[in-house]
Structure 1
Amino acid sequence: MFSSIVSGAVHGISSYLMQVEVDVSDGLPGFNMVGFMSGEVREAGERVRVALKNMGYKIPASKITINLSPADIKKEGVIVDLPVAIGILTAMGEIDEKRLDKVMVLGELGLDGEVKRVNGILPIVIKARETGFETVLLPKECAREGAVIDGIKVIGVSSLQEAVAYLCASDEERDKLISPTTVDIQELFRKSEYDETNLDFADINGQAAVKRAVEIAAAGFHHILIVGPPGAGKSMVAKRIPTILPPLSLKESLEVSTIYSVAGMLGENDALITRRPFMSPHHLITETALTGGGNIPHPGVISMAHRGVLFLDEMPEFPRAKLDLLRQPIEDRKVNIVRTKGKFTYPSDFQLVGALNPCPCGYYPDRNRCKCTPNEIRRYLGHISGPILDRIDICVEAPRVDIADLTEKTKRINESSRTIRERVMKARRAQEERFKGTEIRFNSEMTPSDIKKYCRLGIREESFLENAFCTMELSARAYHKILRVARTIADIDESPDIKEIHLMEAVGYRMTDGKYWNQNEE
């Protein structure tokens, strides 16, 4: 007696079809599983045998062999319990194999037959739809997560008994027995739009220059560094950046939700991630937790910040080696991890926002309050390497807030996040129009060849930039960063051309890092 069940699994954040083949034959009684499995997958045999017994099914004293293919990919997780149990029952004749045509099965089993949630449902359901499956049988807790994908029926079951009853029912009875799960995606986005956050730029008094720099960074998806003394409002500003970013599109939402699904961070009621992620790791985070990987490969924090903000507070407190791990993800917008188990690629298209004090005590260059020695300052700021600084488009100083900025009168004229967001979205629409038909989405993504095409300068502007390049001893990367930022500033001003005033502001955002880093090299 032989049966074949189709399930799915994830490899990195991509998914693949997994064939669960079951053979029940005469011979020395045994229960063998083969197919390049991890320990937790191998343990599925014991869970399935006990679950079947507790559900009232008598397993024959036969030789049971289970093969998981493809054999060249190591099977991780606990996703095969339910398909193995269904495969055994099918081979025993309890379920007609024809009832499993174009049906994918996945889920973990408890010893009492309960079907428990598993990670990675979203990419697996997407793969099932792409390969022509009509139905996916999965844990009830994960049903909403899978139901966001159109064109495929998602059936959530809470026990093995429910799964068997559904598979044994006729086509007419199935939907009456267990209704397919449905999700109103538009309602999810509407709810996210009107679910107001407590964070708003209207709460921030003063720091007009910082708010202007953050607006530019949001409009062009530029990386930004905020330098200033303790209590200047650096973290307060950074935490509000997601409130001025454009809302996630459905495509972006699916990308982000896939990462969270694989990481097991989608709750039962969280069918989709509809808001821009904001990740703020502590400086003691491990390298694996930051970039991803591990014995069972999983996305790291920088991938969890995909399409959103990665905020590094007190940036020099991070070891230099950890910060340098960001160099490749910033450039390539993805993380490549090579292990003996294979190569894993995780997306990491995030906006880096760094905040730091200018010295260990936080008050440099105010020598009336700062007692740090030049060596201490150099060592502290040296945690942020030149290559990382070169990859940050905007560096802005957050000065100490004046008492006049904290008055109630000033507070009334603060711009709200909604107002700033409207300008950001207008600049984003200009970029969409400019880059229509290309793979570029933001000004920050322009390559040097794209910059030549989209950032043409007049004679006066070229002269100014050439002078700035020579005077400030800029690198080629910094030169291109200035042009990208200037293009964004021009978009905010609704100017089709980059003017000298736009270049002047963009160059100004390259001077703050020189103030704190270059002087310490003397």
Structure 2
Amino acid sequence: MLAKTFGAAVYGVDARLITIEVNVGQGTKFFMSGLPDSAVKESEHRVESAIKYHGFAMPRNKVVVNLAPADIKKEGSAYDLPIALSMLKAAGQIRAGELDKYVIMGELSLDGDLRPIKGVLPIAIEARKNKFKGFVLPKENAKEAAIVNDIDVIGVSNIKEAVDFFEGDIAIDPLEVDTRDVFMAELNNYDVDFKDVQGQENIKRALEIAAAGGHNVIMIGPPGAGKTMLAKRLSSILPPLSLHEALETTKIHSVAGKLGSNSSLISTRPYRSPHHTISDVALVGGGGNPQPGEISLSHNGVLFLDELPEFKRTVLEVMRQPMEERRVTISRARVSLDYPANFMLIASMNPCPCGYYNHPEKECVCAPGVVQRYLSKVSGPLLDRIDLHVEVTPVSFDEMTANRKTESSEEIRNRVIKARERQAIRFKDKEAIHSNAMMPSQMVKDVCEIQEAGRTLLKTAMEKLGLSARAYDRILKVSRTIADLADSDEIKIEHLAEAIQYRSLDREGWAG
């Protein structure tokens, strides 16, 4: 007898419908076809143990399981539940008339309990797209799937509960989640705030500019100057996620299995801070079973690279293309996957190995030429892609102990939102551009017009600092953002001068 159920395979950040066909006939062997990996093949043993535990019998006839389409590789253990239900129906042990009206996914433990799976959100979206009645899945993943409307999300704890539901012996109400309520409840719910930072007003200003225009930042300063503390607060001044951005971000974290049980919607901007020992695959994504990397997990948020020169050169260089394209393409023999990677990079580093070059009080003990060699660990092309170079100096005791009230993240964020609103109007006809940092070179000339005095100032700065053509574009983009924060339609010379100062840490001019 033949039985059919439906599941899904996740590729990149999207899902593709998979048909699970089981035929029980004459013979004694178990066969599985459809390009399954080892985890899928091992489902035979998990399924046998699970169904026996709940009083069903493993068919002793010939069992053929086919996962179609057969030219797509099937990976992971999430096919256990649909295979088990199809097998029981094909063997005549259950009737389950509506089995083919649901997408079914779930990993079985040996006692028949269901374990949470990855990629639930894109699977739910694919199920709705294909007009399925519902989605049956582990209860721990139900909240995540329930943010997709117009589909019944049925969370079950074990295979017996799934069988009873399809047999009509029990009724399980579909889980409903009000996406907007969840979204608004967690919106801008950050654990850190700029009001806790005393001093460092120039760094706060630089980070405000970065947030307003979506610019990348590097902070150079001695140990203990507050670089990491400031970086952690950058996401708290970014504009709130839109519902579309929240769904997009949640989808990536769902595919990577980073949401956790009973999670639903990510409504705060991601902040990722990988250690400097990270590999290039872990950073950009890929691997034998391709997964999103840290730069995709920080999509619509912040990627913080602490102690930038300590990262391997190969790791840093693979970021160059994603920083420009705002996506990562992982190519394999059978498949090519795209992961979004529209992130803000904030990096920090010491100015030299000892950490005290240019320190106002402590003396640098590095040998001649060591500072330049240390800075050279970060390539010029990568530094050119970072819009703001900021020198961080230690906070004095008086500033640290002052009782002065400082601006909160909310106050800064309100100014950032107004600047972004100006940019939204500017780029309303440009679908792929949402901030000044995303402008291509040809658009910079039209949007960032400067007067003759500003052109002279910029020429002098370019010659003195030895800046590249890409750095020229970065200065214009940053000056446009500064003008937006000042609610100015034109780029004035003071906006340009402030933007130029944020390139003063280019290696030629700064390390001597």
Whole-Å Cα distance in 2 between the matches of residues 296 and 186 of structure 1? 34
1:489 counterpart SS class: helix
Correspondence for 1:186: 180
Correspondence for 2:342: 349
Q: How big is the shift at 1:292? A: 1.6
What 5-or-longer segments of structure 1 have no aligned partner? Answer: none
Correspondence for 1:424: 416
Q: How many residues align?
A: 510
Report if aligned partners of 2:188, 2:236 keep a CA contact under 8 Å in 1: no
- Aligned to 1:401, which of 395, 401, 405? 395
Q: How big is the shift at 1:86? A: 1.1
User: Residues 170-185 of structure 1: matches in 2 within 5 Å?
Assistant: 177-185=171-179
Whole-Å Cα distance in 2 between the matches of residues 290 and 54 of structure 1? 42
- Aligned to 2:243, which of 241, 250, 262? 250
Q: How big is the shift at 1:67? A: 0.6
1:358 counterpart SS class: coil
Deviation readout 1:492-519 (Å, 9 max, x if unpaired): 0000111111111111111122466662
1:355 counterpart SS class: strand
Letter in 1 for 2:392: A
1:265 partnered with 2:264: no
RMSD over equivalenced CA pairs, Å: 1.8
Correspondence for 1:223: 216
Correspondence for 2:10: 10
Whole-Å Cα distance in 1 between the matches of residues 319 and 32 of structure 2? 41
What 5-or-longer segments of structure 2 have no aligned partner? Answer: none
Report if aligned partners of 2:96, 2:163 keep a CA contact under 8 Å in 1: no
Bigger mean CA deviation after superposition, 468-477 or 16-25: 468-477
1:277 partnered with 2:270: yes
Correspondence for 2:91: 92
- Aligned to 1:233, which of 201, 226, 230? 226
Deviation readout 1:132-188 (Å, 9 max, x if unpaired): 11211111110001000111110001111111111122xxx87xx111111122222
Report if aligned partners of 1:25, 1:64 keep a CA contact under 8 Å in 2: yes
Q: When the two structures are superposed, what TM-score results if normalisation uses the length of structure 1?
A: 0.94
Q: How big is the shift at 1:315? A: 1.1
Bigger mean CA deviation after superposition, 505-514 or 33-42: 505-514
2:45 counterpart SS class: helix
Whole-Å Cα distance in 1 between the matches of residues 62 and 476 of structure 2? 70
Correspondence for 2:470: 477
Deviation readout 1:15-47 (Å, 9 max, x if unpaired): 100110111112x21111111111011001111
Report if aligned partners of 1:9, 1:79 keep a CA contact under 8 Å in 2: no
Deviation readout 1:284-312 (Å, 9 max, x if unpaired): 12222222222222111111111111111
Correspondence for 2:488: 495
Q: How big is the shift at 1:339? A: 2.9
Whole-Å Cα distance in 1 between the matches of residues 465 and 226 of structure 2? 29
1:372 partnered with 2:366: yes
Q: When the two structures are superposed, what TM-score results if normalisation uses the length of structure 2?
A: 0.96
Letter in 2 for 1:435: F
Whole-Å Cα distance in 1 between the matches of residues 377 and 72 of structure 2? 39
Letter in 2 for 1:416: S
Report if aligned partners of 2:220, 2:348 keep a CA contact under 8 Å in 1: yes
Whole-Å Cα distance in 2 between the matches of residues 381 and 73 of structure 1? 46
User: Residues 502-517 of structure 1: matches in 2 within 5 Å?
Assistant: 502-514=495-507
User: Residues 139-154 of structure 1: matches in 2 within 5 Å?
Assistant: 139-154=138-153
Q: How big is the shift at 1:131? A: 1.6
Whole-Å Cα distance in 1 between the matches of residues 369 and 69 of structure 2? 58
Whole-Å Cα distance in 2 between the matches of residues 419 and 192 of structure 1? 18
Report if aligned partners of 2:153, 2:174 keep a CA contact under 8 Å in 1: yes
Deviation readout 1:183-209 (Å, 9 max, x if unpaired): 1222222321374x4421122122111
Deviation readout 1:343-370 (Å, 9 max, x if unpaired): 2222111110011110011111349611
Whole-Å Cα distance in 1 between the matches of residues 452 and 66 of structure 2? 70
Correspondence for 1:202: 195
Q: How big is the shift at 1:464? A: 3.0
Q: How big is the shift at 1:437? A: 2.4
Letter in 1 for 2:8: G
Deviation readout 1:320-359 (Å, 9 max, x if unpaired): 2211121111111112222345322221111100111100
